Amino acid sequence: MATQKGKGIVFGITSTGFAFAGASALGIEPTGETLRHEAEIVKFKDKQGEDVGAVVFNQSKRLTLNAYPTGSDTSGAGTANNLPNPGDRCQLTDGTDAEIGGEWMVESCEKAKTNGEITTFTIELANSATSANRYHLDA
């Protein structure tokens, strides 16, 4: 366990649980998380060509999750070695980071294997940034 000295910082990954709809046997250990806030922006100009305003719409959040499959034994890790499917719902538990914890939709995922390293996953998760447009929910 790390010990902090000096200024307080946020250290490490605080997410503790990942539940994927349709992939109940998936057990992963996170090694990295990258959160992005995105939006489409249309700027408009005055007659001199200077930007004078913008319309911001279609705001979304994207989370890149780097992880490796794991289990209580080798057999369990083998069972966990299946990626979730695009469109699957993911419930991410994070008691200290409200921007990351919550429900997401799997947008894409990939598995990497080499002859000298462990198998790793990169899972791209997405959701609307506004609570009225959560697209992880079924219609």
Phi, psi of 75 (to 5 degrees): -65, -45
| Any domain includes 24 | no
| Any domain includes 98 | yes
- pTM (2 d.p.): 0.79
104 contacts 89 by C-beta, under 8 angstroms: yes
Phi, psi of 35 (to 5 degrees): -105, 135
Q: What is the pLDDT of residue 36?
A: 94
| Any domain includes 29 | no
Q: What is the pLDDT of residue 107?
A: 92
Q: Detail the DSSP E strand segments found in the chain.
A: 17-20, 28-45, 51-69, 89-93, 102-112, 120-128
12 contacts 22 by C-beta, under 8 angstroms: no
* Domain that residue 69 falls in: 61-133
Beta-carbon count within 10 A of 91 CB: 14
| Any domain includes 77 | yes
CA 99 to chain centre: 10
Among 39, 88, 89, 86, residue whose Cα is nearest residue 60 = 39
Q: What is the pLDDT of residue 130?
A: 65
Query: pLDDT in tens for each of the 139 residues of the chain?
Result: 567 777 776 777 877 778 777 655 578 888 999 999 999 999 999 999 999 999 999 888 999 999 998 888 888 888 888 888 898 888 888 888 888 888 888 999 999 999 999 999 999 999 876 666 666 555 4
| Any domain includes 96 | yes
| Any domain includes 90 | yes
Total domain count for the chain? 1
Q: What is the pLDDT of residue 1?
A: 59
| Any domain includes 56 | no
Q: What is the pLDDT of residue 27?
A: 83
Q: What is the pLDDT of residue 78?
A: 84
| Any domain includes 110 | yes
